[in-house]
Amino acid sequence: MQLLRGLGFFHVNMFLFSATIGTGIFVSPKGVLKYCSLNIPIFLSIWAGCGLLSMMNAVCLAEIAATYPVSGASYYFLKRALGSSVAFLSIWIKIFACTLGISAQCLLIASSLIQCFYSECQAPELPKKCLALAILWSFGILSARGIKPVAWFNTISSLMKLSVLCLISLTGIVLLVIGKKENVSRFEKALEAELPNVSQIAEAILQVYYAYLGSSFLIVIAGEIKRPAETIPKSIIYGLSVVTVLYLLTNVSFLAVLTSEEIISSDSVAVTWMNRVFPSMQWIISLLISAFLFGSVSCGIVSASRIFYATSQEGQFPFIYSMLNDLHSPVVADLQAVILSSVGIISSNMIYLIKYVGLGTWCLNLLNMIGLLKLRYQNPDLPRPYKVRLPFVFGSIASSLFLILTPVIQSPSTEHVYQVVFLFCGLLCYWLQAYLNRHGVCFNRITCYWQLLFNVSPSEHPEKLIPSLNPN
């Protein structure tokens, strides 16, 4: 039993679009423009630069996935490069980021759908949470059916997302070409704005990166991709290039229709843009926002379940998470991801904890790059079907250090203390699970009962599936 390698180049690109394109492009322009001091050239440059930076980081991670083509490749790699404690810390960060992100997305979908029935007041919390739970568990059932149904669903979702962004982009271009003079005048006066300082640029980059968060999703599902050494780097370069161009054109369209002050004062720039260009279309706007999030939720559940799956195979989580059903899906890991996300929906205040994961995410990217360099030095003869150039690795390290240190040095706050405490709690949990593993013989019988209940079988250890470790 093992996860099926059933995803070709087309489906991998659709997964990348679905995981990357989300509400970030609708929400982030507000904060980015604010931190750019309304400077439009800097604003657009940061969007383009972050697209290139995210591509650089993802290409560096692609070497890890090509060398260790298993699901949860980053965790598998970190455990061998930097040790079990660092690998567990990466899982600690990813689980919080995934499950709280899924909860927030499900609540946003439910809110945008229900709000249509409450045009004159705020929608009540109970029906919103019930609908969010129904959406979450529906995607959990879909994920338990295997990777192929999820791939086809994300293909439809991705095509819808691309169509919406193309519509917004083309509308903006048309308004600039044949529109009123006021649409063009905002760009003519762009160079008159003041320049932001270094701290503001760092904050703006962090805001933009929210819109590119899914760019490393393919590394999580490397064990289910055909010819990962060829497919992953090619998909990252082509896919993220398309996303970067669409994000730039979408922001140009926002600026062509709305003033900088209107963008900053808007809760959702896309909704304000739609109301200006296509008034009286609230239903369509709600459906479009929901469509943008549906694919992101399904990718989040797949990502979280593969994290549980990989950690279980390495013995740091219960063995039951790495068992597969007859559809080759880690159904117990899917269930665990859905349960944790359900807790986030029910206790919606927990979603605010996601802001404390930001520092950890960049620390994790830094650790991946350090581990990559260490592995290059210690195991130079290790077969690497895809090998990234060292300047990209050093560039990724420099960008991670810049985004970690600049906000802390320029504007220290208690939030940074909470982020450090969050990371320290991960180490405490690592020591706790290590103790339980040494005294966990009594859990074997419980695992057998769970195995019978879910009709699942143990999967092969990833080392048997990696060609570089099995030359014969």
In this predicted model, what pLDDT tens digit does every residue of 272-294 receive, in sequence order?
A: 777 777 776 656 766 776 677 78
- The two structure tokens encoding residue 140: 């959990």
Mean pLDDT check: name the lowest of 117-126, 209-218, 450-459.
Answer: 117-126
Name the residue among 382, 384, 419, 425 with its Cα closest to residue 403. Answer: 419
Question: Are 226 and 74 contacting, i.e. CB atoms less than 8 angstroms apart?
Answer: no
What's the token pair of residue 97? 């980021």
Q: Name beta bridge partners: 225.
A: 7
Q: Cα 444 to the chain's mean position, in Å?
A: 34
Average pLDDT value for the chain = 81
Q: Give mean pLDDT, residues 25-34.
A: 81
322 lies in some domain: yes
**pLDDT over 90 (residue 245):** yes
Whether the predicted pLDDT of 326 surpasses 90: no
Neighbour count for residue 470 (Cβ, 10 Å): 9
Which pLDDT does position 182 carry in this prediction?
60
* DSSP structure class, residue 39: -
pLDDT of residue 238: 92
The DSSP bridge partners found for residue 7 are 225
If we measure between CA atoms, which residue out of 117, 151, 114, 147 comes closest to residue 129?
114
Q: Is 159 exposed, middle or buried (0-12, 13-18, 19+ CB in 10 A)?
A: middle
Task: Report yes or no: 314 and 338 within 8 Å, Cβ to Cβ.
Answer: no
In the numeric block, the tokens 């939720």 are attached to: 297
What pLDDT score does 137 carry? 92
User: Greater confidence, 247 or 458?
Assistant: 247
Is this structure's pTM higher than 0.75? yes
Position 98 scores a pLDDT of 84
* DSSP 3-state of 449: helix
Which pLDDT score is estimated for 471? 47
Strands 323-324 and 457-458: what pairing? antiparallel
Greater confidence (112 vs 222) lies with 222
Residue 198 has what pLDDT?
Answer: 77
Contact 18, 154 (CB under 8 A): yes
Give residue 465's pLDDT band: very low, low, confident or very high (50, 70, 90): low
Whether 68 maps to a domain, the answer reads yes
Cβ contact 300:104 at 8 Å: no
What are the strands, taking DSSP E only, across 235-366?
Answer: 323-324
Cβ–Cβ < 8 Å for 278, 272: no
Q: What is the pLDDT of residue 241?
A: 93
Nearest to 216 by CA among 357, 98, 103: 98
Model pLDDT for residues 73-116, shown as the tens digit of each residue: 888 888 888 888 888 888 888 888 888 888 888 887 887 777 66
Q: Which of 20-34, 230-244, 416-430, 454-468 has the least mean pLDDT?
A: 454-468
| Residue 158 lies in domain | 9-467
Neighbours of 412 (CB within 10 A): 10
CA distance 121 to 132: 19
End-to-end CA distance of the chain: 20
pLDDT value of residue 246: 92
More confident residue, 412 or 320: 320
- For residue 392, being part of any structural domain is answered with yes
Percent of the chain scoring above 90 in pLDDT: 7
At position 373, the amino acid (one-letter code) is: L
Confidence check: pLDDT of 304 > 70: yes
pLDDT at res. 41: 85
pLDDT tens across 129-141, in order?
888 899 999 999 9
Range list of H helices, 145-216: 147-178, 181-188, 198-209
**Of 163-172, 334-343, 423-432, 448-457, where does mean pLDDT reach its minimum?**
423-432
How many CB atoms within 10 Å of residue 307? 27
What pLDDT is attached to residue 134? 92
Distance CA 223, CA 73 (A): 8
Q: 3-state DSSP helix/strand/coil percent for the chain, to nearest 5? A: 80, 0, 20
Question: Which tops the pLDDT comparison, 423 or 189?
Answer: 423
Q: How many domains does the chain have?
A: 1
> Shortest CA distance to 367 belongs to which of 60, 95, 71, 99?
60
Q: What is the pLDDT of residues 338-386, one digit of tens each?
A: 998 898 888 866 556 666 666 677 788 888 899 888 888 888 888 888 8
Q: Which of 65-74, 231-240, 455-464 has the highest mean pLDDT?
A: 231-240
- Residue 472: the pLDDT is 45
- Residue 434: inside a domain: yes
Residue with more model confidence, 275 or 68:
68
**Residue 243 has what pLDDT?**
92
Determine the Cα–Cα distance for residues 313 and 71; give it in Å rounded to an integer.
Answer: 11
List the CATH number of the domain containing 300: 1.20.1740.10
Asked whether residue 435 is domain-assigned, the answer is yes
Query: Is residue 108 included in any domain, yes or no?
Result: yes
Give the Cβ contact number of residue 448 at 10 Å: 11
Instruction: Say if 4 falls within a structural domain.
Output: no
Residue with tokens 């593993």: 437
110 falls within a domain: yes
Bridge partner residues of 457 (DSSP): 324
The confidence band for 318, taking pLDDT boundaries of 50, 70 and 90, is confident
